[in-house]
């Protein structure tokens, strides 16, 4: 599948594109990656859709929810097919809002790297906090299999490219997100 950044056009064939995304997610069933280079801390698959399908004026919450479900389904397939030698790796789907096009299915191969992305923190660059008891899965009626958790974080960082000098976004992690 191809990711394309086409900003102004309304996507054509939305039903076909969503079906292709569901097929992409199904390809992860019994297909855990075997050739991740040594020393990697993180491995990912970006959502393979047009930018305008998930962001901008031509999308809607129903389309975004369908795309989020496909990412979660891919994550759940990987969780079920994870071999024993990858026991300490975390399999997740990350739904990014408002920048949905950056959403992905990820393997965190390093626990500290996972915690750096998901724990609440305060730094000179910005802050992050957990969003519990809020739930994207409830708001969008997403289906989670047994053993698939949810963790929402909000990030608030300094960004001089933004009109107010800040970037505020949510990151919703699904999959193996519970504390170990």
Q: What are the tens digits of pLDDT across the range 62-87? A: 999 999 999 999 999 999 999 999 99
Which residues does the chain have with pLDDT short of 70? 1-9, 125
Give the Cα separation of 135 and 164 in Å (integer): 27
CA distances from 73 to 21, 39, 142, 160, 179 (A): 10, 27, 10, 36, 21
- DSSP bridge pairs for 128: 121, 155
Q: Looking at residue 163, what is its pLDDT?
A: 84
The predicted pLDDT at position 7 comes to 54
pLDDT of residue 164: 84
So what's the pLDDT on residue 65? Answer: 98
Quick one: how far is CA 66 from the chain centroid? 13
Helical spans, DSSP H, in 131-177 = 136-139
Q: Which helix (H) or strand (E) holds 167?
A: strand 166-175
State residue 125's pLDDT score. 67
């Amino acid at each position: 599948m191809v990711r394309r950044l086409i900003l102004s056009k309304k996507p054509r064939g939305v039903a076909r594109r969503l079906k292709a995304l569901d097929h992409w997610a199904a390809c992860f069933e019994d297909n855990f990656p075997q050739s991740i280079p040594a020393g990697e801390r993180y491995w990912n698959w970006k959502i393979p859709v047009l930018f305008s399908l998930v962001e901008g004026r031509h999308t809607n919450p129903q389309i975004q929810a369908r795309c989020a479900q496909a990412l979660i389904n891919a994550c759940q397939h990987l969780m079920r097919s994870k071999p024993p030698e990858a026991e300490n790796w975390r399999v997740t789907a990350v739904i990014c809002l408002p920048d949905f096009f950056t959403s992905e299915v990820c393997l965190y191969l390093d626990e500290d790297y996972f915690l750096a992305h998901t724990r609440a923190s305060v730094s000179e660059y910005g802050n992050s906090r957990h969003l519990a008891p809020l739930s994207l899965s409830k708001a969008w009626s997403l289906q989670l299999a047994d053993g698939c958790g949810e963790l929402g974080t909000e990030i608030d960082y300094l960004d001089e490219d933004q009109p107010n000098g800040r970037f505020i976004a949510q990151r919703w992690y699904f999959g193996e997100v519970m504390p170990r």
